[in-house]
A and B are shown apart, each in its own frame.
Chain A
Amino acid sequence: MTGLLTYLVKRLVASVVTLLGVVFVLVVAVQFLPGDPARVIAGLRATPEQVQRIREEMGLDDSVFVQYWRFLENLAHGNLGVSARTGDSVASEIWARLPYTLELAFFGTLIGAVAGITLGVVAAIHKDKWTDSIVSMIGVMGISTPVYWLGILLIMLFAVTLKVLPASGASTPQSLVLPSVTVGVFSMAIVARMTRSTMIEELGQDYVRTVRAKGAAERLVIYKHALRNAFVPILTVIGLQFGTLLGGAVLTETVFAWPGIGRLLVDSISARDFPMVQGIIFVFAAMFIVVNVVTDLLYTVVDPRVRLYG
């Protein structure tokens, strides 16, 4: 147990250092965005006095180090700053939209993982036959299909023509279906490819021949033995997909009017709402780090040979 604890503490310290670095890069990076944020937020018809006033409120004239320090100070008080556009607290805005992003990320990854592993296993078992080619084709289509196009197509089919699902929004449980599928298709393609190649490699190993010779049912060979051993790289890919989706699936959120943080981030960058941009990226970085740690810990469950700590 102490081994695990020490390990977690070490990871925690590393995470904090990483986050400090992320914040610094953020504060510096936004300085280089062209355009005057105060003018953009005030609007075209604002008077110069109003623009100057907003500039002062945002603290735009302060040096990078002052802004960095201010962010850290606020953070220590659990405060992520105030949106330059709306005046609402950044933390509360992110908090309001985070559940939607988590939902979409979770179900999208779930669909992608389940469908992807299924397809990958099927392709590996029937390698170089018709089934394999079809799965490869699905894989390529999944990766190359533009999310936007797929989303709109699904809306047209299920919402407009068949009228069985809502066209957009997040008001009903059913509204989760189409966005998750849209997002899941890409995940599915990636997971399927990884599953197929690792499964083929595993199924070619000596121990598989041994297990078969021992008389195990084929199902056992595939799932309990080969897939289990192949799972580490598959898990890595799934973890990465989930982590990426946590940052919000901007295109999907736009097409489906899904109130997640992806669209909020893009809109805030367009509006030069620096406090919001910094807050969102910070939260995203923190979540991604957590996902990485959890994935690493899951490795030890899936593959007992992996030792993270003493």
Chain B
Amino acid sequence: MSPQRFSRPVNSPSKPRRSAWGRFSGSRRTACVAATAVAAMVLAACTTTGEPGAEGGTFTIAIGVDLDTLDPAQQTTTTVQNVIDYALETLTELDKDGKTTPGLATDWEISESGTEVTLHLREGVTFHDGTPFNAEAVKFNLDRIRDPKVKVPIGGAFAVIDSVEAVDELTVRLNLKYPDPALIRNLAITTSAIISPTSATKDGNTYENIVKPVGTGPYVFKSFTKGDKAVFEKYGDYWGQKPFYDTVEFVIIPEGNSREAALRSGEADLIMNPPVTDIEALENDPSIEVLKAPSDRAIFVAFNTSKAPFDNVNVRRALNYAVDKKSIAKNVLFDTVDVMDSPLAKSLDGYCSVDTYDYDPQKAKQLLADAGVANLSVTLGTPSGRYLQDKQAAQAIAANLAEVGVDAQVRTTDWPSYVSAIQEKDGPYDMHLLGWAPGALDAPTQFQMFQKAQWPPNGLATAFYTNESVESLIEIGNRALDEKQRSDLYCQAQQQIWNDAPWLFLWSQTLILAYSSDVQGVSYVPNEKFDTIYARPKS
């Protein structure tokens, strides 16, 4: 039917022109009223955070990952540990330079044999539930994280402890199976944080699973709503320096752009990891400060050294020369990473600067020709979104490699499939991108990547690399009680590993914090943790 002009029927009496409102039928009218009401509500309400400068107030931190567990023993993710650190403390702590400092233990002695560690505990400390902090509490916790009944994914570091004795009220002795100089440092990992023994069976907590952590820290854990936020309140009887803010809220915002929006709109005072592409804009904004904190996370491409072509050290070294890491760090990663000059990141205890594989495509081509491999075709595996700009960096690396005649096919898949794939000796990738971060900033954990005992499936040493002299240097170094001797041995190991090039050494990541410039006292620990307990407004 052709469209008609719809005019008023001839016979209808003349009616006054209906208002626009009148033309709406019942349900449509209600909808309009509802919409107006919503709009009115919206305009009438403004979201505000606590005013800066007010005594106490709330500090809001936006993080990108949801808290999977509040139990210190079950931790696997650094950011979640970071949140729990507000309420729980460890026996030792790591400072901004990665050095071990006293925590709940004020000092310690290691016996001549190295197998006895005596810890002297801090006096006058109480848990949030009033229980006194003492040697029994420490024994309870250290026994718990070695108890097979409890799930402790990164508890490997504490397996060296044979038994724990409460010698007196404020002294604990650890009897070790063998000397382990790194143990003191490992006691700073949140896994060994001290919870109140009386709280372990109350208020929803069970020995196997803590859902409400009660500790000794400057803040008390108040509540956690999954996918939403965790709330902490100042602890009045804290033994140390009191923090400024009364309340700290950790809000969970997985999307980087949304976190940035929350910071810019004032809903968050501090955020982790804004989108890399916006960092320059944030730095130029006078109302926002950006802190690039060095971290322990080494990013590298591991070669599958168990078979050709990467069983040849010259091929591996050639590829190290072929990639322009400085340029990629600048252009693909917006200067948020630190190019590696050792198999260990700079923040690790035992790091020593070895060398650099400077960008030299000519040398790369020469080495490849000498090794008798021309026109290599390999697969380069990469995760997608797991590490900062991982896929983009892999593509840039492939481009560099193409210039020296190596055809690198970039392949990606989701994280669980990726983790499985890289553990296979005959897996789909000839080389793959990966990251590794020793949370205790210790060399032994980083060296695991170069030891045969940690080849998959026992560990994640996915380069399948081993070198006898490196193995013994690491072994002896790990047990050496004399610091100088230990560093020397570690240095030699790093030198050898660097020359063997089981990896295409890339860079170590930084943790990027953006926060309101009304706030001061924002710091970090170089194991990917922010330290804002003593943040306060600028007066």
List the interface of chain A (C-beta within 8 A of B): 33-37, 39-40, 42-48, 50, 53-54, 85-87, 93, 96-97, 110, 114, 118, 125, 127-128, 152, 155-156, 159-160, 163-174, 177, 204, 212-213, 215-219, 221, 223, 254-257, 259, 263-264, 267, 270-272
Residues in B neighbouring A47, C-beta threshold 8 A: 153, 155-156, 159
Contact status A257-B255, CB under 8 Å: yes
Contact status B3-A54, CB under 8 Å: no
Q: Which residue of A lies closest to B154 (CB)?
A: A45
Is B520 an interface residue, CB under 8 A from the partner?
Answer: no
Question: Which size bracket describes the interface of B in this complex?
Answer: 35 or more
In the complex, which of the residues A35, A164, A221 contacts B417, with contact meaning CB atoms closer than 8 Å? A35
Residues in B neighbouring A257, C-beta threshold 8 A: 227, 251-255, 258
Q: A35-B415, A159-B261 are in contact. List 20 more A-B contacts (CB 8 A).
A: A40-B419, A45-B76, A45-B460, A47-B159, A48-B457, A53-B151, A85-B68, A127-B3, A155-B261, A160-B261, A160-B264, A166-B265, A166-B267, A170-B228, A174-B41, A177-B38, A212-B9, A216-B9, A256-B258, A271-B416
List the interface of chain B (C-beta within 8 A of A): 1, 3, 6, 8-9, 11-12, 23, 25, 28, 31, 38, 41-43, 45-47, 66, 68-69, 76-77, 151-156, 159, 209, 225-229, 251-255, 257-258, 261-262, 264-267, 413-421, 436, 439, 445, 457-460
Contact status B264-A34, CB under 8 Å: no
Q: Can you name 12 A-B pairs with beta carbons within 8 Å?
A: A35-B414, A35-B418, A43-B76, A43-B77, A45-B460, A159-B261, A163-B265, A164-B42, A168-B251, A173-B41, A217-B12, A219-B23
Contact status A36-B226, CB under 8 Å: no
Q: Which residue of B lies closest to A125 (CB)?
A: B6
Q: Which residue of B lies closest to A128 (CB)?
A: B3
A169-B251 contact given A46-B154, A177-B38, CB 8 Å threshold = yes
Q: Which residue of B lies closest to A156 (CB)?
A: B261
Interface SS of chain B? loop
Residues in A neighbouring B154, C-beta threshold 8 A: 43, 45-46
Q: Which residue of A lies closest to B2 (CB)?
A: A204
Q: What's the nearest-Cβ distance from chain B to residue A273, in Å?
A: 10
Contact status A97-B227, CB under 8 Å: yes
Q: What's the nearest-Cβ distance from chain A to residue B438, in Å?
A: 9
Residues in B neighbouring A271, C-beta threshold 8 A: 416
Residues in A neighbouring B436, C-beta threshold 8 A: 44
Contact status A87-B3, CB under 8 Å: no
A45-B156 contact given A50-B151, A155-B258, CB 8 Å threshold = yes
How many pairs of A and B residues are in contact by the CB < 8 Å rule?
169
Residues in B neighbouring A267, C-beta threshold 8 A: 66
Contact status A93-B226, CB under 8 Å: yes
Q: What's the nearest-Cβ distance from chain A to residue B100, in Å?
A: 20
Q: What's the nearest-Cβ distance from chain B to residue A96, in Å?
A: 6
A35-B420 contact given A47-B155, A97-B227, CB 8 Å threshold = yes
Q: Which residue of B lies closest to A170 (CB)?
A: B228
In the complex, which of the residues A40, A93, A172 contacts B47, with contact meaning CB atoms closer than 8 Å? A172
Residues in B neighbouring A218, C-beta threshold 8 A: 6, 8
Q: What's the nearest-Cβ distance from chain A to residue B417, in Å?
A: 4
Q: What's the nearest-Cβ distance from chain A to residue B67, in Å?
A: 9
Q: What's the nearest-Cβ distance from chain B to residue A170, in Å?
A: 7
Contact status A270-B416, CB under 8 Å: yes
Contact status A255-B255, CB under 8 Å: yes
Q: What's the nearest-Cβ distance from chain A to residue B243, in Å?
A: 24
